A and B are shown apart, each in its own frame.
Chain A
Amino acid sequence: MPRTRQRWLVAAALTVPLALLVGCAGDGAPSGDQTAAGSGDSPYGGALGTPEEETAIQSLYDQAEDAGEYEITAYGPPPAQSVIDAFQDRFPDIEITFEQLQSQDRITRLQAEKASGNYVGDIAVDGRTPIIQMAGSDPSWCQEFQPAMDVPADLIGMDGRTVKTYNTVFGIIINTDLISEADAPKSWEDLIDPKWKGKEVMVSPAAGGAGAFISAMLLTPQENADKWGMKIVQGLKDNVSLVAKDAQTVSSVVDGTYPIGVLAYYPYYFQTLQTTPDAPVKFLLMQEGTGYSVGEQCVIANAPHPHAAQLWINWVVSKEGQAAYAASGSYPSMPGSPGPAGIPGPDEASLITLLPDEESVTGYSPFVKQIQALYGG
């Protein structure tokens, strides 16, 4: 049941953006102004949401200012600078700073803050698993989310403490000077065809990260293992050349060292196209079972700037925030938000089934370990 819900959630998050994406002319890049029309009574002219939602957000902003909360510290990987800039433009009195503290390091840091009484962190930003783990700790490291926006219940988890904010996909990137889209592999089975041996590049799973995690998704839950399992994992290992970092997968396909990049991280491809639109590369989703990561956030318990932190997460799920994320290469999670330009539409996307939220905290770990061991890690 939870898996079904998960698929529904992702489908909802992807389908509606596609509909809007198709409706967008030209580059399809989202714009807050496009959504602002006809909302003259709203504090932000409809750029963020409905008048009621904008009033609630304005109230949060006022509360933050009244409390002297002019800064937010977020622990986790930062979004693109354009996302941060969009927030600062909207709320110029509040500055958000990201510290790239993830997973266990973040928890250790929070423990230290608790011991010292010197609280710094306001928001935790990360993938689904570590945020759920934080929220599920006893006592919880996350406090309850106060929605000013009309966030669907399915996006709020762990007793109202966590919010799903965006998704990022891992697909295939090809160099169109070396291989045509028609000839390119499009499924996991295609990728393990011996004819591609030495022509595919992938980030090494040996050192953990996305390579290990997405590979582990091929082994769990059971339905994934039945479809792909070790056959694909071993076949990939036999076929691919390895690089150390995700970004090198993209760059080594762009420069023509390899024609095919596997588990290519869409935002990196997107960044490349932003700076060099003529780069001879194309991003493809898998025909079935595209790997992806769910971005999740929570307001940290004892956050020194709780109102400002609530404001941030509400802005992230607002029209403007979701558009900003889409403009940096991520799929917004809120239904109705436009998706990123240039990516195959969600109707073409068959995303891989994920473990349910609570199960994901420990469920992937043994498989990640198995994958790392396979690659010598």
Chain B
Amino acid sequence: MTGPTTRSLAGPTRSNRVSAAWRGSRLGGKILMALTMAILLVLFIYPPLLMVLAAFRRGPIAGQGEWTVQPFVEVMTSPATWVVTLNSIVLSVAVAIIALAAGTFLAWVAVRTTTPLRRFMTPTMAAILVIPSLFYGLGWYVTLNGTGAPVNILLKSLFGIPGSPLGSGWGTLIFVVACHVIPVGYLFMVGPMSRMDAALDDAARMSGATRGSAFFTVTLPLLRPTIFGVLALMTSYGMTAFELPLLFGVPAQPSILVFSTKVLNTYHEAVGPQGWANYAGASSIGLILVALVVVLVIARERLLANRRFSTISGKGFRPEPKSYGRIQGLFLAVFVLVVLFAGVIPLVQMVLAAFQHVAGVYSLGFTTENIEKVFASRRTSQVVLTSIWVAALSGFLAAAVALLLSWASQRSGRVVRVLSLIISWAPIAIPGVLVGLALLTAYMPVPGLQKLIGTPVMLILGFIVVATPIATRAIEGGVVQIAAELEESARMSGAGKAATFFTVVVPLVLPSFFAGWFIAAIGIAGNLALPVLLSSPQMRTAAVTAYDLYNQGHTAQAAALFLVLMVAIGLVGAAAWVLIAGATRLLRRVRIVRIERAITTKGSVVHA
């Protein structure tokens, strides 16, 4: 080559063909995004993927050993597998429909009506959520079972019905589980509902629609992203529920066994001459859950594809409540009933249990010994404090990851969108009773991660992975509702991407973010599957300690410990609420001052 060729001359032109997105700071952003996605993929995708692979390998630990399809065939050809799967699907669907309907209705009452006490609905629902599911279940158990159970005394004295006719069975099981998740449904829905512009309903009314039809044809369809997210989440909850079906399904005649019980039984089977755990069999059953989650996610994507759900737009935005007249008394009655069933009745029973010699046995009298033992234990303060800070931190981080995933999935290209979707759903596909095992065995061979096993970092990491799908469901609906033009306006006014995110997106999605943080933190505080396997004895949580006490037959003492934990969470929650409310007021004042200053000095708010 002695002179310039066409190719060499074309060089600079060619370099110009590299799109702006792949140059300079944008390239840095893309590399950062790719790195983040890679880390998230390892953390979120590898554990469920390992569980899938583990279905076809038999060895001393999950995902190791020789390849075989035998466990898969055994599980899939066992009629018991399909009986428990059907039971779980029936439970899931029934619970999801009831909890979503009641939760959505109450969220609407809280946001769109002037029903008395509506301002107390959100804090009340949040407070109810603090009740751990195990002790919520035990509260109902002693309400419905035994000669001293209040319901049975009532049934016997009023109708002469003996025994515990409502102690177990399908009706009781669905009722108890549904009541437990109604507050979750409410908290998921209230954020997006409160960010909806009432003008949309008004427009429907002005076009001749009744209030009812406006609700069903405008409000509900606009909430579809959240509704489908919650529906899928609750369905997976039904598939992973363990303690409540154990309390109200197993004693039924015939027993109602669910998916989780089968997974756990299979896992504990000794196989082969070495007596290995049947990881392959348990994982094979888990594949049913994987398939179900995939179907739900695909269905959700198809139903939501190519539709816009933005309800937060410009100046006209006003989520104002209206009076619906005397029927609001009925709305209030529904709220009171939900609070009674989901909170007060089981809570009162649990408080009583904490002061009983034998939990639920009134005939043996009451004592303060359980509370005294809890306070006398030198570990109590440590486990309660650990529970609170780990739950608060992990919940916040999970909510932050959820917000970023939801936002990235809305505003990025197809690849990032698909990856975000997979990351935010994948951990749900792991059966709840195996989630600790899945994470541990997945992270074991990963350099860097393996060194964290047994440290607080690993526990927090595990909680983030487990809680992010839940937080995402709470937050994504809020993100979807933010119209892109709001961000575009900020960008056109000179704000950078980060500034736009923090000054436009975050403030608008804050109610959903707080709901996601709170729900994730509460779930983490009550989580039993992860701490035992992932943490060290020094990171023991109150939930695990109480569960151990319960398993050792010290139910009353366990109730006392849970009571202490709930009071501590309540105090910390109240303090946090006061702080957040104060900070919000302060920020609002600062913003107003800045706007006023901008107007007086520059005559415009553009640069404020």
Contact = CB atoms under 8 A, between A and B. Distances in A.
Given A78-B548, A107-B277, A252-B146, A365 B251 contact: no
Interface stretch (B177-185, B193-201, B552-560, B579-587): B552-560
A297 interface: no
A261 to B, nearest CB: 13
Interface stretch (A30-38, A96-104, A310-318): A96-104
A353 to B, nearest CB: 20
Interface in A152-203: none
B277 A244 contact: no
B361 to A, nearest CB: 4
B268 A103 contact: yes
Interface stretch (A9-17, A266-274, A331-339, A341-349): A266-274
Interface residues of B, number: 71
Contacts of A255: 146-148, 358, 360-364
Contact of B537 (A73, A252, A268): A73
Contacts of B270: 133, 361-362, 364-365
Given A116-B451, A275-B358, A108 B533 contact: yes
B145 interface: yes
Contact of B453 (A103, A112, A244): A112
Given A78-B548, A208-B268, A373-B80, A118 B360 contact: no
Contact of B450 (A116, A254, A275): A116
A247 B253 CA distance: 20
A279 interface: yes
B553 A377 contact: no
A372 to B, nearest CB: 6
A268 B271 CA distance: 31
Nearest to A257: B146
Contacts of A368: 269
A345 B564 CA distance: 41
B364 A276 contact: yes
B365 A276 contact: yes
A206 B87 CA distance: 15
A100 B537 CA distance: 10
A24 interface: no
B56 interface: no
Given A120-B454, A207-B265, A361-B270, A109 B533 contact: yes
B12 interface: no
A256 interface: yes
Contacts of A268: 553
Nearest to A270: B553
Interface stretch (B227-235, B317-325, B387-395, B436-444): B436-444
Interface residues of A, number: 63
A93 to B, nearest CB: 15
Contact of A376 (B254, B264, B267, B454): B254
Nearest to A365: B270
Contacts of B436: 105
A362 B246 CA distance: 26
Contacts of A78: 548, 552
A115 interface: yes
Given A255-B363, A275-B357, A108 B441 contact: yes
A365 B272 CA distance: 11
B553 A247 contact: yes
A95 to B, nearest CB: 9
Contacts of B146: 251-252, 255, 257
B15 interface: no
Interface in B427-471: 436-437, 440-441, 444-445, 450-455
A2 to B, nearest CB: 17
B64 to A, nearest CB: 9
Contacts of B145: 252, 257
A67 interface: no
A122 B548 CA distance: 19
Interface in B332-379: 357-365, 367, 369
Given A206-B255, A208-B264, A362-B270, 18 more contacts: A73-B537, A107-B61, A107-B277, A113-B454, A116-B444, A206-B261, A208-B268, A243-B250, A245-B551, A254-B363, A256-B363, A267-B553, A275-B369, A361-B270, A361-B275, A376-B80, A376-B256, A377-B265
9 contacts: A108-B440, A109-B533, A113-B453, A115-B445, A204-B255, A208-B268, A251-B555, A276-B364, A361-B275
Interface of B: 60-62, 80, 83, 145-148, 164, 246-247, 250-251, 253-257, 261-262, 264-265, 267-275, 277, 279, 357-365, 367, 369, 436-437, 440-441, 444-445, 450-455, 532-533, 536-537, 540, 544, 547-548, 550-555
